[in-house]
Amino acid sequence: MSENVFPLILAELKAFAATAPSLNALQEFLVELIPARLFYYNWTGFYMLDPEDAETLVLGPYRGAPTEHVRIPVHQGICGAAVAQDQTVIVDDVNSDPRYLACSLETRSEIVVPIHAHGKVIGEIDIDSHNLAAFTAADRDFLEQCAKIVGSYVERTK
Ligand code: SME
């Protein structure tokens, strides 16, 4: 079902990225578009590495419940793990993962996908769902392509 929506979102994202005025505008476009199309993406946002401190992730544009986790050290949380391991992390049940930093009590599962530019991790896309085990290999492929579009934009513009 959502598999049919992924290519459409990616096409819109690529088109916007071609002329996006700024990284922030591209990030805002993505966090607006994705949850509007994918009902089980209940929190969609960016954490980017602080340019002044490579050990800390800073909350960027997001949609969903406000979070107290505005800055996350890279050795904390599922967000930190995705950067530290430099790979996508999927957690089917956040309540049984000791790394999990709670944002909303309703969250049941999470996926975090690193973003790369110039061969290095620069941040990540974080999605929370109120459904258990919401994220499949198809979501991973989709979000890794979203991350690639954002990373390519950064490479073109910085
Ligand atoms: N759950 C994340 C923290 C960020 S909030 O979900 C928005 C984590 O465990 O790193």
Q: Ligand 1 pocket test: which of 58, 125, 126 has the largest number of ligand atoms within 8 Å of its C-beta?
A: 126
Does the global pTM surpass 0.75?
yes
Protein residue with its CA nearest to atom 1 in ligand 1: 101
102 Cα to the center of ligand 1, angstroms = 6
pLDDT tens-digit map of 88-141: 999 999 999 999 999 899 999 999 999 999 999 999 999 999 999 999 999 999
| Average pLDDT value over all residues in the chain | 96
For residues 126 and 43, the answer to whether their CB atoms sit within 8 Å is yes
Protein residue with its CA nearest to atom 7 in ligand 1: 103
pLDDT tens-digit map of 61-77: 999 999 999 999 999 99
pLDDT tens-digit map of 22-51: 999 999 999 999 999 999 999 999 999 999
Which helix (H) or strand (E) element contains residue 44?
strand 43-50
pLDDT at position 158 is 80
The CA dihedral of 33, 30, 24, 155, to the nearest 10 degrees, is: -150
C-alpha span between 53 and 56 (Å, rounded): 6
CA geometry: angle 114, 157, 26, nearest 5 deg: 60
Statement: residue 4 has pLDDT above 90: no
41 Cα to the center of ligand 1, angstroms = 14
C-alpha span between 40 and 146 (Å, rounded): 17
C-alpha span between 28 and 126 (Å, rounded): 14
